[in-house]
Structure 1
Amino acid sequence: MESTVDTIKIDLQTVGFDSSPQLTEQVKSELNRLLRFRKDIVAADFYLSEDGSNPQTNKLVRWRLGVPGNDLFAEARTASWSSSLREAGEKLRRQFVD
């Protein structure tokens, strides 16, 4: 599914399940949180998948940010989509200052 936040193109891909409107809003919310720290983001790609082997870490989020220069990437695996999105977002934010 593609959408936009401000002028940022968002590509949200889910593997093995359909995205809900609530999940789409969580994705946009996390992207908006990152926009407070960096304004030159041009694209955001989200790849979400479930791995049923361990319910404590079965929500995998891979997040790529298109920015001038090299793109940034982070991934997180936790028990919920919101915490995986937040953790991946924090990893990306830490890359802003490095």
Structure 2
Amino acid sequence: MQVKIHSIHFDADSKLVHFVQGRVDKLNQFYDGIIEGEVFLRLDNASNHENKVAEIRLSLPGNELFAKRQCKSFEEATDTAIEALRRQVRKYKSKHGHA
């Protein structure tokens, strides 16, 4: 699976990029038919501390899955978005009869 990571209005350090890449790659354990992953990391202009946003889109055969989470850190936002996508992938597999 190819993963594209975009950081909007800031420069993500390599540690964050590797963290996100690793988390998205782990989704292949649940379904190896994922074609592509695209991640958008951005800072929200909200006045509260939970201003780190992770948006993740997965392309599957005939479908797209999407999750968006806003948390105090990009790592936390990524983890919660990945967990939501993990549930969506399982649901996709059960509906489409993939073992």
How high is the TM-score relative to the length of structure 1?
Answer: 0.85
Q: Distance in 2 between matches of 1:90 and 1:61?
A: 12
Identity %: 31
Q: Distance in 1 between matches of 2:90 and 2:59?
A: 16
Partner of 1:89: 82
Report the number of matched residues: 90
Q: Distance in 2 between matches of 1:97 and 1:37?
A: 7
Mark the structure with the bigger radius of gyration: 2
Segments of structure 1 that go 5 or more residues without pairing to the other structure are 1-7
Spell out, residue by residue over 1:27-55, the C-alpha distance to the aligned partner (whole angstroms, 9 max, x if none): 11101221111111111110111124211
- Work out which of the residue numbers 23, 26, 35 in structure 2 matches 1:33: 26
Alignment check: 8 A CA contact 2:69 2:81 kept: yes
Alpha-carbon distance, 1:82 to partner: 0.9
Partner of 2:94: none
Partner of 1:5: none
Partner of 2:95: none
Partner of 1:67: 60
In the alignment, structure 1 residue 80 sits paired with structure 2 residue 82: no
Partner of 1:17: 10
Segments of structure 2 that go 5 or more residues without pairing to the other structure are 92-99
SS in 2 for 1:71: strand
- Work out which of the residue numbers 42, 48, 70 in structure 2 matches 1:49: 42
